[in-house]
Amino acid sequence: ETGVTQTPRHLVMGMTNKKSLKCEQHLGHNAMYWYKQSAKKPLELMFVYSLEERVENNSVPSRFSPECPNSSHLFLHLHTLQPEDSALYLCASSQVSGSGANVLTFGAGSRLTVL
Amino acid sequence: GQNIDQPTEMTATEGAIVQINCTYQTSGFNGLFWYQQHAGEAPTFLSYNVLDGLEEKGRFSSFLSRSKGYSYLLLKELQMKDSASYLCAVFDSNYQLIWGAGTKLIIKP
């Protein structure tokens, strides 16, 4: 496996379910990200982990809970979601250096539908 | 507030040239990215501009004018496989990445 892998690719869940999205990066990067992508809207940054510590949480509802057990794995735990949470959830990784600007490598995303 | 504008959708003909514009209003500037995203796939990196001017990479070129808050992505010799969404993103003064909503490019034979 190379790059950034996300599972599952598609997920349908009810509002009372609990599910998790998984992301794995094989690039040796030191930062991982969760983004939400909705149709015709800009990418929304949800969470950032740098060196396995969460550094940003852009006021995301608590029904989304991230977990980063090591530098290669990232999870997004989902609990009592709303229909408006239906979207494509993208995971990305990057190598953050002192200069700040860095290229993100994305996974193909998990398409979530909340019924 | 911070904002990036790009056209929602464009149509072009196979073999032709197309220019996708991106204008930005951000608090500071530390570089501009273009990504390509085919339907159902991951966004992939195309280009990064931090200085004014044109960067050429094969059939794709990206231009930046910092004084005008403007960039464009130029695609030459269009192929059907270039049908995709093109995302513009800017690093602001805090190295926060600000994204546009993307431009869906449709290539017709």
Q: What is the pLDDT of residue A43?
A: 95
In the sheet with B60-65, reading across from the earlier edge strand, the strands are B3-5, B18-25, B70-75, B60-65, B53-57
Closest CB to A41: pick one of B50, B97, B101: B101
Maximum separation of any 2 CA atoms in chain A, in Å: 44
pLDDT tens digits for range A9-41: 999 998 888 999 999 999 999 999 999 999 989
In the sheet with A64-70, reading across from the earlier edge strand, the strands are A4-7, A18-25, A73-79, A64-70
Q: What percent of chain B has pLDDT over 90?
A: 93
Q: Is the pLDDT of residue B51 over 90?
A: yes
CA of A25, closest CA in chain B: separation in Å? 13
Q: What is the pLDDT of residue A26?
A: 94
CA distance A107 to A83: 23
B42 with A41: Cβ contact below 8 A: no
| Tally of CB atoms within 10 A around B15 | 11
pLDDT tens digits for range A60-108: 999 999 999 999 999 999 999 999 999 999 999 999 887 667 899 999 9
Closest CB to B45: pick one of A4, A90, A103: A103
Cβ within 8 Å of B, A 37-96: 40-43, 45, 90
Q: How does DSSP classify residue B66?
A: T
